């Protein structure tokens, strides 16, 4: 089956979720990837949203993280204060799933501004819960299209801390969460080495290594055990297209 690079990225992201994981689901593509994982490899995952919905069981793809379909049939609805304190800060979240405008070499995320803070070239949405998720979830998965401007050596603004400049630096800050575990793009999968620097560990089928390097804003480290990502299966594509996004809201077809 033919597929697009955006579909590939979403499917790869969904595969990273383990059955039974408690996942704090961010806005946008993470929402899509989690709703796909729940129908495939992780039927027992618990989806938790910053809107206070715990154990969501939506009948259709939620259009935002506050969609009423998240409430109907959920295990629990609590206040935002409770979801950030009892669930996230308490350490109950296995995976925080985030999108970003920019991610740098050490997994720091920017969703605030491109350019200078007070006179920005582009003003973005801001943290929302992202900084809190990045600080407090046991591990963080990051999803973004692989473009040079989105993967600069240093982000213009650290909205949400990754490893800052090294794993030691994050440790020094005393953040309870484990930090970024992987960045999933439409070209490959990147993880973090013992220093906390991003390393390409897998490349999607049909993507050239030079293309990945050219679209990264620094001299990207490549794992000696670089693998080729398994292409999407027919089942993954069918569920994504027919059940998760049947109206093509995320993927124009």
Partner 1 sequence: MPAPQINTFRVGKEIRVAKHPTEGEAPRDGLFPLAQGQLGHLRREGVLALAEDKVMSLSEAIDRLVQDGDCLYLAGFTHLIPYAAGHEIIRQGRRNLTLCRATPDLIYDQMIAAGCAKKVVFSWAGNPGVGLLRCFRRKVQAGEIEIEEYTHFGMVARLFAGATNLPFFPLRSITGSDLPEHNPNIRTVTCPYTGQALSVVPALNPDVAIIHAQRADRHGNAHIWGIIGEQREAAFAARKVILTCEEIVSSEVIRSDPNRTLIPGFLVDAVVEEPWGAHPSYAQGYYDRDNDFYFEWDRISRSEEMVRAWLDEWVYGVSNRQEYLARLGAEKILQLRVSSHFSVPANFGSRR
Give 152's strand partners: 217
The answer to whether residue 1 forms part of the interface with partner 1 (CB under 8 A) is no
The answer to whether residue 136 forms part of the interface with partner 1 (CB under 8 A) is yes
The answer to whether residue 161 forms part of the interface with partner 1 (CB under 8 A) is yes
Closest by CA to 45, choosing from 26, 20, 70, 24, is: 20
Distance CA 244, CA 237 (A): 10
Closest by CA to 211, choosing from 235, 185, 244, 231, is: 185
The answer to whether residue 129 forms part of the interface with partner 1 (CB under 8 A) is yes
Member of 130, 141, 151, 207 binding partner 1 (CB under 8 A): 130
* CA 44 remoteness from chain centre: 19
Distance CA 132, CA 50 (A): 10
Residue 71 has φ and ψ, to the nearest 5°, of -80, -45
Member of 158, 182, 184, 198 binding partner 1 (CB under 8 A): 158
Distance CA 45, CA 56 (A): 10
* Tokens 């490959």 sit on residue: 188
x/- mask, partner 1, residues 6-45, rule CB under 8 A, reads ---------------------x------------------
The answer to whether residue 225 forms part of the interface with partner 1 (CB under 8 A) is no
Stretch that binds partner 1, among 10-18, 82-90, 224-232, 239-247 (CB under 8 A): 82-90
Nearer to partner 1, 36 or 237 (CB): 36
Q: Which of 50, 194, 197, 234 is catalytic?
A: 50
- Is the Cα torsion angle 56, 61, 67, 72 positive or negative in sign? negative
Distance CA 34, CA 19 (A): 11
Q: What is the largest CA-CA distance in the chain?
A: 48
Query: For this structure, is 50 an active site residue?
Result: yes
x/- mask, partner 1, residues 194-223, rule CB under 8 A, reads ------------------------------
Nearer to partner 1, 28 or 231 (CB): 28
Give the angle 191-19-160 at the CA atoms, nearest 5°: 40
Member of 43, 126, 205, 206 binding partner 1 (CB under 8 A): 126
Here the tokens at position 128 are 């929302």
Member of 170, 185, 232, 244 binding partner 1 (CB under 8 A): 170
x/- mask, partner 1, residues 85-104, rule CB under 8 A, reads ---xx---------------
Helix (H) or strand (E) holding 69: helix 68-71
Interface with partner 1 by CB under 8 A: which residues?
A: 27, 50-53, 63-68, 70-72, 77-81, 84, 88-89, 112, 117-120, 123-132, 135-136, 157-161, 164, 170, 173-176
Catalytic residues: 50
């Amino acid at each position: 089956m033919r597929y697009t690079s955006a579909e590939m990225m979403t499917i790869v992201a969904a595969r990273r979720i383990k059955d039974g994981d408690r996942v704090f689901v961010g806005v946008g593509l993470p929402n899509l990837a989690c709703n796909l994982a729940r129908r495939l490899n992780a039927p027992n995952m618990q989806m938790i949203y910053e809107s206070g919905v715990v154990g969501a069981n939506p009948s259709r793809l939620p259009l935002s993280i506050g969609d009423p379909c998240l409430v109907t049939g959920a295990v629990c609805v609590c206040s935002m204060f409770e979801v950030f304190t009892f669930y996230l800060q308490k350490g109950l979240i296995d995976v925080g799933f985030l999108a970003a405008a920019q991610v740098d070499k050490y997994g720091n995320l920017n969703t605030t501004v491109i350019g200078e803070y007070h006179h920005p070239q582009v003003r973005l949405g801001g943290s929302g819960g992202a900084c809190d998720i990045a600080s407090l979830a046991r591990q963080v998965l990051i999803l973004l299209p692989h473009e040079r401007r989105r993967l600069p050596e240093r982000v213009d603004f650290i909205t949400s801390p990754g490893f800052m400049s090294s794993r030691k630096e994050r440790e020094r800050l005393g953040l309870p969460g484990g930090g970024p575990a992987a960045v999933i793009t439409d070209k490959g999968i990147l993880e973090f080495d013992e220093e906390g620097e991003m390393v390409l560990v897998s490349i999607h089928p049909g993507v050239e290594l030079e293309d990945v390097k050219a679209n990264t804003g620094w001299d990207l480290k490549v794992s000696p055990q670089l693998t080729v990502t398994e292409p999407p299966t027919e089942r993954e594509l069918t569920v994504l297209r027919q059940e998760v996004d049947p109206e093509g809201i995320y993927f124009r077809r």
